[in-house]
Structure formats: C-alpha cells, structure tokens
C-alpha cells in the first residue's frame, strides 16, 4: 500500500514538473524579444544620447586616480541639496569600509529654467566636496536616458580602473557592507560582462498615452522588452560602461533609461543577473518601500523610497546594531 502511494506521489510530481516545464517553454517563447539587427541609429537620433553632444560644466576627472573597488554614480538634480548631504553622512561617507576605496559621485544636468543662485551654491558645493559632475543637458524625467549614458561615458573615460560601478538613485538606502560581501562572493565571474540588481524579465510596453511609462509602437514596435534591471539601483563591472556606449549606436533612444540599458545589453548578448540569496527566495535589491526594521534591512543590499530625513534617522541605529542580526 505504501509503495503504491509513493508511486502515485512520484507520478504526481513528475506530471507537475512536465506541466511546469511546458508552461515555461511557452512563456519564454512568448516573451523573447526579436533578435536586434545591428543597424546604426540615424545620426539625428543618436546625437540625442551621444556624449559628444554635451559639455561638462563641472567635472572631477581625477576622482578615480586610486582605482577604487566601487564607484557609486548617483543621479541628482540641482535642487537635491538635502539628499546629497544625507548621502554624504550615510552610505556615501568616505572610509565607511576601511580596507576598500569606495567613491561616490553626483551626476547633475541643468534645470529647464536657469537658476543662478542654485548654480552658484552647486559650484561652491563642488569645490568643497569634489563629488559633483554637471553637464549641459536639461535635467528631466524624459532625459534620464541621456543622464545614464553620461554616467556610462564618465566611467569609461575617467574610471576604468574601478572594479565595479553602481548606478543608484538618491532616495535609496544602501547597505554598503552587504553589497561588498556579495560582490566578493561572486568571484572572477563578476569581473567582466557582469550586471546585477532586480531583474524584470516579463515586461511589455505600455501603450496607454496617459501612462507614465508610455512607449508608442513607432518608438518601440516589439510586444515585449528584453530582460532589464530596475533603474532604482544596479551594479556592473566597469568594462560594461564602454560596451553599453558602443551598443547605444545601434539602439534607438527611448525615455525609459532602465529599459534602454536592457536593450543595449540585449545587443551585447549580456544577461543581467538577479541578485538573490537562499534558493532565490529573497531579492537583495528591494525596490518596494519597506518599514525600517534593522534585521530586515541587514539582509538587503538596497531598499527603496527614503527621503533625506528618514535616511539620516535610521542610519545611526543601523550602523550601531546591524551586526547583531
């Protein structure tokens, strides 16, 4: 009787496994985007994202002279003074990990309307801290792809000696020590063509023109996006910066910067890696907002959705006690 029950149980799991496998085959064939043809983007479109189109207002070309382990590239705006201050006092502070060089850099454009007072303050801030670059593109949500390409260009030009780079938004909590431990654990496989974060593998373009993430069929005709990483934060080996720039010559610009990077990776044949632990049950790049709880945050690389006041409020407690978790 027991043998018969075991046989039925085995047959049940075998059947369930075959069904799951068949569903995955159908699903994967459905979402697989068309293989891109390497047709150069027309010059007038490529110029929109080409680094040669824009000039530096502020720059820090010597920042990476010591070949850091990690460079944190933080998109910000002219008005984000409080956010920059909070980051310098928390996860962006110098010497946070004594045996490694980790640097940070705020990447800023120009406001649509000139603000001489804010610009003067920014220039003074840049002189004091040496952690700001500014270029003359208009800082807007629609231009985040431009800003991301400027980040890639700066790394490829001035910071090739770094092992890793991280694009991370200014409203993020970053667990620097856990990130460092995670990268060390990846070994040699993460030194080339490596990019990790929260992977989105089944996204389709929004065709509703009232949607924040609307993309027209003329701009992107495929029904599915290739896998890409949430733009809140992702980490990559610095060799990818130059390769993504090269791939951008064959990818038509779209205003969704995270999807755009995914399209460039698709051209390169590079697959983004989901940052997980414990049999893939825990996403280490938490793009949702979570209520602060020390031991929960100690087991994540990032958590999304922090204003400067909240970040400063929790940081002291986290630094003091996270190792007890």
Mean of pLDDT over the chain:
88
Check whether 25 has a pLDDT greater than 70.
no
Higher pLDDT, 178 or 8: 178
Check whether 51 has a pLDDT greater than 80.
yes
What pLDDT score does 145 carry? 97
DSSP letters spanning 37-81: P-PPPPHHHHHHH-GGG--EEE--TTTTTT--SEEEEEE--TT-H
What pLDDT score does 278 carry? 64
Structure-block tokens of residue 134: 């500014």
Structure-block tokens of residue 133: 């670059």
Q: Where are the domains of the chain?
A: 43-324
Residue-wise pLDDT for 84-101, tens only, equals 999 999 999 999 998 999
Region 43-324: CATH code:
3.90.550
What pLDDT score does 36 carry? 56
Residue-wise pLDDT for 167-185, tens only, equals 999 999 999 999 999 999 9
What pLDDT score does 248 carry? 97
Check whether 5 has a pLDDT greater than 90.
no
In Å, the largest CA–CA distance within the chain is 85
Residue-wise pLDDT for 93-139, tens only, equals 999 998 999 999 999 999 999 999 999 999 999 999 999 999 999 99
What pLDDT score does 321 carry? 73
Residue-wise pLDDT for 245-282, tens only, equals 999 999 999 999 999 999 999 999 999 999 987 655 67
What pLDDT score does 201 carry? 93
CA-CA distance, 152 to 159, in Å (whole number)?
10
Q: What is the reported pTM?
A: 0.87
If 0-12 CB within 10 Å is exposed, 13-18 middle and 19+ buried, where does residue 81 land?
Answer: middle
Average pLDDT over every residue of 295-314: 94
């Amino acid at each position: 009787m027991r043998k018969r029950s075991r046989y039925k149980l085995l047959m049940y799991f075998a059947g369930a496994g075959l069904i799951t496998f068949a569903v995955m085959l159908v699903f994967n064939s459905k979402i697989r985007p068309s293989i891109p043809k390497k047709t150069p983007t027309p010059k007038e479109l490529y110029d929109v994202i080409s680094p040669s189109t824009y000039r530096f207002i502020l720059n820090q070309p010597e920042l990476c002279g010591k070949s850091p382990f990690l460079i944190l590239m933080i998109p910000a705006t002219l008005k984000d003074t409080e956010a920059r201050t909070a980051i310098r006092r928390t996860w962006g502070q110098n010497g946070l990990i004594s045996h490694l060089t980790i640097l940070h850099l705020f990447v800023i454009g120009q406001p649509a309307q000139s603000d001489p007072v804010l610009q003067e303050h920014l220039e003074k801030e840049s002189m004091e801290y040496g952690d700001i670059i500014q270029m003359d593109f208009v800082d807007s949500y629609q231009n985040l792809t431009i800003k991301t390409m400027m980040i890639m260009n700066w790394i490829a030009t001035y910071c090739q000696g770094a092992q890793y780079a991280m694009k991370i938004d200014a409203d993020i909590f970053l667990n620097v020590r856990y990130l460092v431990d995670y990268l060390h654990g990846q070994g040699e496989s993460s030194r080339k063509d490596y990019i990790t974060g929260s992977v989105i593998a089944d996204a389709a373009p929004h065709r509703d023109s009232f949607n924040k993430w609307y993309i027209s069929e003329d701009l992107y005709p495929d029904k599915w996006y290739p896998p890409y990483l949430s733009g809140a934060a992702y980490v990559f080996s610095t060799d990818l910066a130059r390769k993504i720039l090269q791939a951008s010559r064959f990818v038509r610009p779209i205003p969704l910067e995270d999807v755009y990077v995914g399209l460039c990776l698709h051209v390169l044949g590079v697959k983004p890696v989901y940052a997980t632990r414990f049999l893939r049950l825990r996403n280490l790049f938490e793009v949702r907002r979570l209520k602060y709880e020390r031991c929960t945050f100690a087991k994540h690389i990032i958590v999304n959705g922090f204003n400067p006041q909240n970040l400063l409020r929790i940081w002291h407690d986290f630094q003091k006690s996270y190792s007890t978790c």
